Structure 1
Amino acid sequence: MMDTCKCSKAEFGRERSETLSAQPEGKGLVTIEHEPIIGETPQATLQSWLTPNPLFYIRNHYSIPQWESDSEWALTLDGHVDNTLSFSREDFRSFPIQTLPITLECAGNNRSDLEPQVPGNPFQNGAVSTAIWAGVPLRCLLERAGIKEGAVEVLFEGFDAGEPAPGEQTQPYLRSLSIDVAMHPHTLLAYEMNGEPLSREHGYPLRLIVPGWYGMASVKWLRRISVIQEKFEGFFQKGPLYHRGR
């Protein structure tokens, strides 16, 4: 177990429910798909190390989820833990905050350069962006819940759901991390991006950020975190599209 978090107090009170994708023609993301929304960062923007929020690449597998009331949002932490917990937006104010510059990249970046061509979104080189993310280290929540002996992975479920491929059952977006990666001090539950609350496209109100991993690991629109006793082998972990980034 790593040392207990020692960071400053978090602020999780501001709301940001609008979207950022509607940009003037020629000044926004390079659109790959409209539904679900997928777009890459313009080439000129990549000359700077920091990506403005409206130009940060987007890779969604399903439509952006909607819920009745932001005030009713809650994050559940359950599974192989000592205490099943639920966290409201207000609860996050009691946690330490961590701010980190982190680059995310889709595993399919530069796919259009491949010969022969392969299935998937035809990204050029704009499916990579960097932001300063702020939020709560995931380990702080896991330590509060208490991980039981025999735990193998931590599973993350988003609010977004749909058919991941023709013939597949409707299911939420699910990805897992090993206990070691989940407990890393830089694995973050982020609610701010470049000093602003997350937009809908980027996972408002809360998303996972996993430094050093392809973007598909950083689950958006979090609704549940479960500690499990076996390796997860769901569609987006092991299926034919699992390599496509997020």
Structure 2
Amino acid sequence: MKIITSPAKLMNIENSTDLLRTSTPKFINEAALIQSHLKHKSPKYLSELMEISAKLADENWERNQKWKPTPTAKESAPAMFAFTGEVYRGLDAKTLDKNAVDYLQKNYRILSGLYGLLKPSDKVMLYRLEMGRNFEFENYKNLYGFWTEKVTELLNSEMKKNEILLNLASNEYIKVVDRKKLNHEVIDFDFYEIKEGKLKTIVVYTKHARGLVVRFCAENNAKTLNDVKAFNYEGYRINEEKSTNTKLVFTR
């Protein structure tokens, strides 16, 4: 079983761990190629591309100038600990034990606009480049054109026969995986809050729940879909009526 999530815009490279030996991302040369184009883009371009404030654009322009493929320990952090958005608050990797971290190193991958696909231990520097932005470089109209084949092939090579892929990524990121060429069944997820008898989606809770599922799988050494269906953190329960063979629905 493999699990994938999106990355996060929020990052902190001061976060680290003694439980993982850091590694170099598989697609570091591809990341360096993207950065070689990104580095020459002005703060104004970055602001328009990512729809961010001038202050954030300046900050990310500086990050692009400092980025390098072989950063020092001080300049980088393992991916699972570097991202700090809502998914990663749910995952809360820094409080996991060695067995749980080992489980995630084997089974968990993070999609990335810059790095393609990351293992928990892969060293990343501060960056911002969302997969869905129309960043054009060389002959590519966007990042999907650059990454889809590479990411899908890598997932295929890492997964064993009959393994399933748990999709806990956002729509923006899962689009980079070519489901027709992926030789494995993908299981999607929905999370709902029950308000006045109706099911409601609240984005921030959905993001948090995705991280909670990753944590649950790690802490319970989940190996089968039935193991995942037992997810019950923070009041969530499987809704068998709404779930299907390829989608698990949890409500609370």
Give the TM-score of the pair, scaled to structure 1.
0.22
- Give the number of the structure whose residues are more often helix, by fraction: 2
Please give the TM-score of this superposition, normalised by the length of structure 2: 0.22
